[in-house]
Structure 1
Amino acid sequence: MRTTQQLSITLPNEMADAVKAKVLAGEYASESKVIRAGLRAFLARDRAVESWLHRQVGPAYDALKANPSRAVTADQVRARLAAEHAKAR
Structure 2
Amino acid sequence: MILWRLHYAQGQDIFAPDRPGYVIASDWSGVAYIDGEYKFYVPYRSISGRQNVLTTRDDRDVNNPGPFYQSHMTVIRQMLKGAKTFTRPPSG
More strand by share: 2
Greater RCO structure (CA 8 Å; 6+ sep) = 2
Give the structure with higher Rg (CA).
1
User: By the TM > 0.5 criterion, same fold?
Assistant: no
TM-score of the superposed pair, with normalisation by structure 2: 0.26
